[in-house]
Structure 1
Amino acid sequence: MAFILSDTMRSTASEAQRMAQGDDEGARLRALDRYDILETPREETFDRITRLARRIFGTSTASVTLVDGHRQWFKAREGLDATETPRWPAFCHATVKRAAPLVVTDASIDPDFAENPFVVGDPRIRFYAGAPLMTPDGHAIGALCVIDQHPRAFGRAEVAILEDLAKIVMDEMELRLLATQDALTGVLSRRAFREEAERALRLAVRHGHDLSILMVDLDRFKSVNDRFGHAAGDAVLGRSAAACVGQLRGSDVIGRLGGEEFAIALPHAGARAALEVAERLRQAIVAETHTFGGATIQMTASFGVASRGPSSADVDELLRDADAALYLAKAQGRNRCVAAGSEERETEATGFSRVLKNGRILTGHGAAAVECTVRSLSGRGARIDVSSAAEVPERFDLAIGAEDLAHPCRVVRVAHRHIEVEFL
């Protein structure tokens, strides 16, 4: 068992550049992408592990952290409001670099962390212990960590416990690679849904027929867990999924993406037909009544609808559009169905392939760089994620992974932290 204290963590631009060009980093990101876990909703399975870690070690914060090209993203977190932070100053980034446990007993006097922005500013970290999330083929894709605002000791026995908890996280992620059915609701698992949806989309493209994707999110589901407990929440999920299945055709595909979020693929259904299906499903969920401890409740759900355009050949694109429409449904008051507008759809770029690569947005002839994650590529452009779209100019050079060549490009679409660019 490795027990390593901090010694050489310097988050400089030159280090970031060297790491971005490394073949090992590309392999690490491909390993992370296999699990298809980034941007998934919170789930009790992982939340339970962070609650347990926080209680065992008595710290203010615990998280299951995944590190992609430009950020650390929290699949589960306790004592932390943020859902992600930039990668390079992150303590978990240092753990991933080492692929071994990292313990910092007092960051304020540690020569490698004393000037770290997360030490001198919020959340004012003093103590950190992280165990890497190691894939079977030896890649560190993230960390299970505990953090506190007070210095403290952390011995080898405690490191061993943290490593065991990190292995439990990875065991759960490995099991999900094998599962085709969601054990709780009986619908397809996230990975199996994606495979079936991709198959349906390929057929739609080949034969020129319609296909739509629905995103479904149960409204205020957390209040059920908080008020009646997780067993009640599980029952609501199961009955809501069954209500949807009862309204679908045999050719339709439904899967649980995580938490209280589901997705449905509707072959041979255009925008109008898909919106009608969504409305039927919404009414079916509302019609279910749930009784817990003498209290009877009804659930509502919000739906986002996206339909295949003439050039759509990417399930991720449809899922993003449906998710954006779902966000609008929530913002407009919940318990409603909203279709993605044509102005939100990609109309020119075709042939995007899903990837997960680290990238750098270069400006000023390479003098300044913003880290990003490349999500998909075509011969004509790329789709990238950044921590803040406000930092990105209209035109820049995009360096991708270990490639020596930077691509001149211009921004053609911005949605929150997601940017689509066209190569010039």
Structure 2
Amino acid sequence: MTAALNMFPLPLKTEEERLTAVERYDILDTPPEPAFDRIATLVRLIFGVETSIVSLIDAHRQWYKASEGTPLKEVPIGETFCRYAMPGTDAMIVPDASQDERFCDSPHVKADHGVRFYASMPLTTEDGHNIGTICAIDSQPRQFSVRELEIFRELARIVMSEMELRRLATTDGLTGVSTRRAFKEDAEKYVALARRHRSQLSAITFDIDRFKAINDTYGHAAGDVVLKAMARAVEPILRQSDIFGRLGGEEFGVILPDADASAAMAVAEKLRHALLELRFPGSRPALLVSASFGVASFDPGADDYDSLMLKADEALYEAKRTGRNRSVPWSGATVATTKQVERRRVLKAGKLVFSDRRAVIDCTVRALWENGAEVQLSSSSDVPDDVTLEIPSGNFKWDARVAIRRPNSLELAFG
């Protein structure tokens, strides 16, 4: 339960700058992409290891953008070996983790078929910040030759090149719709216009119901076919002025300028029925698709882009919670939007402190407002209702109460 207050041996200011660099790439919690999957495959094949990982590291976890040989998608900071590599400028090579005092007591080492060989190379931005790692892992001790080490360095450079290309891209490679970054940039322009002219604007977020079950039953290739078919079905329904983007794995967003809540709900229903009509000949059993929709309208006196999308997300969550395959309008569920305060999107290292400071949990602060915050963490299940949120880099501290609890995030109300 207790986490070290300085998980990385970095000055607080340097860690804050590093997290700013992570945020710049806007890649956390995005779906798999072939370029990074291929690099993970190359690591495994070139070095003959069992497991390969391409990861980013925020304030509380190592998150896997691509991996082979492991079912995990992320690991808490306190459990990852890569925290020791992050302050470095070159690869960290561990020939036998069972003989290394840093790792020998780790459950990942002590487990049957546990970790022995571990190689980790920081992913370094052009301005010198380590935002993640590329890893090669095996259950047998081994060494890296000089040649292998140089190949490892080059693969890390290729990862960073791909991240730079991705940062500049505006079109999602699989579906052909806007990327999350491009969607946000275009949507913020519409939001600014709606605020200036006090005009109507609405947002829709939706995702495919039980998409994991589709991947598990029919395979990931079939999941890709579904996503592409969904995009093709949606685009003809939208106007040329509307914005359509992929926000996550199976989650999408739509911005509807000059549309009030009633008009947006009508669009959401058209989209929902269009997806129900999709057919995939040859699938056994027959593959049918539905989606859940959240709809929210812009309040020019209170909303920004983030709060508008948050409202739509809360409505989407309600649609999922109440049965799926539904369109639900926002009804004032979140602390930030209910109180109509301006959310400031951030990416900062935080600590949740409780039990008279006997327990400290690393978290990533994703948004702040006057009387609250949104934080991400590996699991919210063990966090009590009353905590103290600390942001060490700014020497900030707030007593808070959990207002909304999700599996991997919390909304906190200060005071």
Question: What range is the shorter-chain TM-score in?
Answer: 0.7 to 0.9
Higher mean displacement: 388-397 or 317-326: 317-326
The answer to whether the 8 Å contact 1:349/1:381 transfers is: no
Cα distance change of structure 1 residues 53 and 324 upon mapping to structure 2, 3 Å threshold:
farther
CA deviations over 1:200-238 (Å, ceiling 9, x no partner): 2333444163422223338648968996985x8766544
Superposition map of 1:4-403 within 5 A: 13=4, 15-16=6-7, 19=10, 22-121=12-111, 124-206=114-196, 207=198, 209-217=200-208, 220=211, 237-257=227-247, 259-289=249-279, 300-308=289-297, 310=299, 313-320=303-310, 322-323=312-313, 326=316, 336-339=326-329, 342-344=332-334, 346-348=337-339, 350-364=341-355, 366-403=357-394
- The alignment partner of 1:376 has SS state of strand
Corresponding residue SS for 1:262: strand
Cα drift, residue 160 of structure 1: 2.2
Equivalent position SS for 1:182: coil
How many percent identity over aligned positions? 40
TM-score by length of 2: 0.85
Number of residues of Structure 1 aligned to a counterpart in Structure 2: 411
Shift of 1:45: 2.9
Distance 2:339 2:270 in 1: 33
Q: Which amino acid aligns with 1:189?
A: T
* Distance 1:306-1:156 versus aligned 2 partners, 3 A rule: farther
TM superposition shift of 1:241: 1.9
CA contact (8 A) 1:383 1:419 kept: yes
Alpha-carbon separation, structure 1, partners of 2:318 and 2:46: 40
**Aligned residue type for 1:249:** R
| CA contact 2:295–2:327 (8 Å) conserved in 1 | no
Relative distance call for 1:320 and 1:42 in structure 2 (3 A) is farther
Change (3 A) 1:331 1:80: farther
Q: 1:127 to 1:332 in 2, by over 3 A?
A: farther
Are residues 49 and 331 of structure 1, via their aligned partners in 2, closer, same or farther at CA, if it must alter by over 3 Å?
farther
Measured against aligned partners, the alpha-carbon deviations of 1:175-223 in whole angstroms (never above 9, x if no partner) come to 1222223345432222110111222233344416342222333864896
1:24 aligns to what SS in structure 2? helix
Aligned partner of 1:407 in structure 2 is 398
Structure 2 counterpart of 1:388, one-letter code: S
Q: Distance in 2 between matches of 1:47 and 1:330?
A: 30
The one-letter code sitting in structure 1 at the alignment partner of 2:13 is: D
TM-aligned CA deviation for residue 266 of structure 1:
2.0
Counterpart amino acid of 1:389?
S
Q: After alignment, is 212-221 or 98-107 more displaced?
A: 212-221
**Closer, same or farther: CA 151–75 of 1 in aligned 2, 3 Å:** same
| C-alpha spacing 1:183/1:44, structure 2 compared with 1 (3 Å) | closer
Alignment partner for residue 409 of structure 2, among 402, 418, 424?
A: 418
- How much has 1:134 moved relative to structure 2? 1.3
- Structure 2: runs of 5 or more not aligned: none
SS of 1:279's equivalent in the other structure is helix
Tell me the CA shift for residue 368 of structure 1: 3.3
On the 8 A contact 2:314/2:333 being kept in 1, the answer is no
Q: Would the aligned equivalents of 1:377 and 1:383 in 2 still touch at CA under 8 Å?
A: yes
TM-score with structure 1 setting the length? 0.84
8 A contact 2:8–2:84 mirrored in 1: no
The question of whether the paired residues in 1 share the 8 Å contact of 2:170 and 2:178 is answered with yes
Residues 322 and 148 of structure 1: is their aligned pair in 2 closer, same or farther, counting only changes over 3 Å? farther
Q: How has the CA–CA distance of structure 1 residues 18 and 150 changed in structure 2, closer, same or farther, with 3 Å as cutoff? A: closer
Query: Post-superposition shift, 1:316?
Result: 3.8
* Aligned 8 A contact 2:95 2:116 in 1: yes
Counterpart amino acid of residue 378 in structure 2: S
SS, match of residue 7 in structure 2: helix
1:59 is paired with a residue of what secondary structure?
Answer: coil
Once the two structures are TM-superposed, the CA of residue 171 in structure 1 deviates from its matched residue by 1.5
Amino acid paired to 1:313: D
- Please give the alpha-carbon distance, in whole angstroms, between the structure 1 residues aligned to 2:110 and 2:265: 50
Judge conservation of contact 2:211–2:223 (CA < 8 Å) in 1: no
- Cα distance per residue 1:139-195 (max 9 Å; x no partner): 111111122222222222222222222222222211122222334543222211011
Note the residue ranges of structure 1 that are not aligned, 5 or more in a row: 1-10
Change (3 A) 1:309 1:239: closer
CA contact 1:218–1:299 (8 Å) conserved in 2: no
Q: 1:135 to 1:297 in 2, by over 3 A?
A: farther
RMSD, aligned CA? 3.3
